[in-house]
């Protein structure tokens, strides 16, 4: 019990420090930030401790055998990507509404409430369809809707913002709701029962890392695009802004660029759906 708890604590420290390092490191110089250096050091130290314990005691936090199951490995990757793309949009939409678009905080926050309720309902509905409709159909439609929703969000303009936000968020929520249950089902349906407990922990961990990694990467990309757009707008004709602050316009264009990148990423992921194996022959030993 003591060894198990100690090992679990080390894993929690590692994951927590890594998430903080990724999230707090955006826009900072890592080598000149004591906080980031401390979090990175904790992450590295936790990895080293886990490696030492594995060598001495012969245990592994996650058995490599889990990754021999193609369905689980593929589903875990898609789980990571879905979490990243979904959570970035959840973070970006209120920031976009309250920042460049200048909407009140209450209005900006309320824009993401309907999508959460709708996604929950879609997840419940799709759960009844798994096994009745080919999983490739559900996954393909889900990822296409994710891409369409993100593409709609990339078209937001200063004078007409609320409807594209609502429409894009709604479409993306439906797409995400169609993906969670099939991915989870495919991850474990061919996995041996003795491996499912460890696999469930790893699956959940990858979801959390997807949240942190997605936000860190896209926030850094957003800041980079704001700087580029601001430089381009500053060197161009000022009449193009017409009452819309230059910094706000640069930010709006940057958000559009980020949503467009995520839409393209969603489309790129679709062919990988065919890596999933048929589930009529289950390997349950």
- Burial of residue 226 (CB within 10 Å: 0-12, 13-18, 19+) is buried
- Residue 283 within any structural domain of the chain: no
**Same structural domain, 150 and 212:** yes
**Same structural domain, 40 and 156:** no
**Same structural domain, 39 and 180:** no
266 closest CA partner among 150, 162, 182: 150
C-alpha span between 120 and 176 (Å, rounded) = 10
Q: What is the CATH number of the domain that holds 121?
A: 1.20.1250.20
Higher pLDDT, 170 or 36: 170
Q: What is the mean pLDDT of residues 188-203?
A: 86
**Same structural domain, 16 and 138:** no
C-alpha span between 193 and 118 (Å, rounded) = 33
C-alpha span between 66 and 77 (Å, rounded) = 13
Residue 226 scores a pLDDT above 60: yes
Beta-bridged to residue 133, according to DSSP, are: 130
**Same structural domain, 205 and 105:** yes
Neighbours of 2 (CB within 10 A): 6
Q: What is the mean pLDDT of residues 62-77?
A: 85
The reported pTM is 0.79
94 closest CA partner among 121, 120, 113, 117: 113
- Residue 280 within any structural domain of the chain: no
Q: Render 68-79 in DSSP notation, one character per residue.
A: G-HHHHHHHHHH
Domain range for 211 is 66-275
**Percent of the chain at pLDDT above 90?**
25
**Same structural domain, 199 and 73:** yes
Q: What is the mean pLDDT of residues 9-27?
A: 60
How far is the CA of 6 from the CAs of 16, 20, 194, in angstroms?
15, 21, 22
Q: What is the pLDDT of residues 235-285, one digit of tens each?
A: 765 454 554 678 888 888 999 999 999 999 999 999 999 988 865 544 444
The pLDDT assigned to 4 comes to 44
- Residue 73 within any structural domain of the chain: yes
C-alpha span between 183 and 83 (Å, rounded) = 12
- Residue 282 within any structural domain of the chain: no
185 closest CA partner among 150, 133, 231, 141: 133
The pLDDT assigned to 273 comes to 92
Q: Any idea what DSSP says for residue 63? A: -
**Residue 10 pLDDT level (bands cut at 50, 70, 90):** low
Q: Domain tally for the chain?
A: 2
Residue 9 scores a pLDDT above 60: no
Q: What is the pLDDT of residues 110-128, one digit of tens each?
A: 877 888 888 889 998 888 8
Q: Which two tokens stand for residue 106?
A: 């209450």
The pLDDT assigned to 29 comes to 59
**Same structural domain, 50 and 91:** no
- Residue 118 within any structural domain of the chain: yes
Q: Any idea what DSSP says for residue 192? A: -
**Same structural domain, 25 and 148:** no
**Same structural domain, 167 and 249:** yes
The SS3 of residue 159 is: coil
Cβ–Cβ under 8 Å, residues 198 and 73: no
Q: What is the mean pLDDT of residues 165-186?
A: 91
Displacement of CA 121 from its chain's centroid (Å): 20
172 closest CA partner among 155, 185, 153: 153
Last residue of a domain, one of 34, 57, 80: 57
Q: Which two tokens stand for residue 105?
A: 């905080």
The pLDDT assigned to 254 comes to 92
**Same structural domain, 89 and 28:** no
The SS3 of residue 277 is: coil
**Same structural domain, 39 and 168:** no
**Same structural domain, 6 and 124:** no
- Residue 13 within any structural domain of the chain: yes
């Amino acid at each position: 019990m003591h060894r198990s708890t100690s090992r679990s604590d080390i894993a929690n420290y590692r994951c927590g420090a890594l998430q903080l390092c990724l999230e707090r490191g955006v826009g900072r110089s890592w080598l000149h930030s004591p906080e980031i250096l401390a979090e990175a050091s904790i992450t590295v130290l936790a990895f080293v401790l886990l490696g030492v314990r594995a060598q001495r005691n012969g245990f592994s936090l996650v058995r490599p055998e889990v990754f021999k199951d193609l369905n689980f490995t593929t589903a875990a990757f898609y789980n990571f990507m879905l979490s990243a793309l979904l959570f970035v949009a959840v973070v970006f939409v209120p920031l976009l509404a309250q920042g460049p678009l200048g909407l009140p905080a209450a209005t900006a926050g309320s824009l993401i409430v309907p999508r959460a309720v709708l996604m929950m309902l879609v997840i419940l509905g799709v759960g009844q369809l798994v096994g009745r409709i080919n999983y490739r159909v559900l996954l393909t439609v889900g990822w296409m809707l994710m891409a369409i929703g993100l593409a709609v969000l990339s078209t937001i303009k200063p004078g007409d913002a609320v409807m594209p936000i609502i429409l894009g968020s709604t479409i993306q929520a439906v797409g995400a709701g169609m993906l969670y249950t099939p991915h989870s089902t495919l991850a474990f349906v061919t996995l041996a029962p003795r491996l499912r407990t460890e696999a469930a922990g790893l699956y959940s961990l990858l979801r959390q890392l997807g949240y942190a990694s997605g936000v860190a990467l896209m926030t850094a990309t957003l800041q980079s695009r704001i700087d580029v757009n601001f430089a381009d707008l500053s060197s161009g004709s000022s009449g193009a802004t017409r009452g819309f602050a230059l910094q706000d316009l640069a930010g709006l264009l940057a958000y559009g660029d980020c949503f467009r990148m995520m839409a393209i990423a969603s489309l790129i992921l679709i062919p990988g759906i065919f890596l999933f194996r048929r589930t009529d022959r289950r390997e349950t030993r």
